[in-house]
């Protein structure tokens, strides 16, 4: 299993990865659909 960064969280049994990119104040989410990685901004500055 690959090592996750400190600011990365897995949710929904690991199906969705929530993380903060360098130089970004907002959280991003990544998941796969039909073998394609989809990345979106959550638009949120904190996870709470």
Give the start-to-end residue ranges of the domains of the chain. Answer: 8-41
Q: What per-residue confidence (pLDDT) applies to 2?
A: 66
Task: Output the pTM of the full model.
Answer: 0.79
Q: What is the DSSP string of the chain?
A: -PPPPTTEEEETTTTEEEEE-TT-SSEEEEEEETTEEEEEE---SS--
| β partners of residue 38 | 31
pLDDT tens, 1-48? 667 777 899 999 999 999 998 899 999 999 999 999 999 999 999 988
């Amino acid at each position: 299993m690959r090592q996750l960064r400190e600011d990365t969280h897995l949710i929904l049994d690991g199906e969705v990865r929530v993380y903060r990119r360098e130089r970004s104040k907002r959280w991003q989410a990544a998941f796969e659909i039909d073998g394609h990685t989809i990345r979106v901004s959550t638009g949120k500055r904190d996870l709470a």
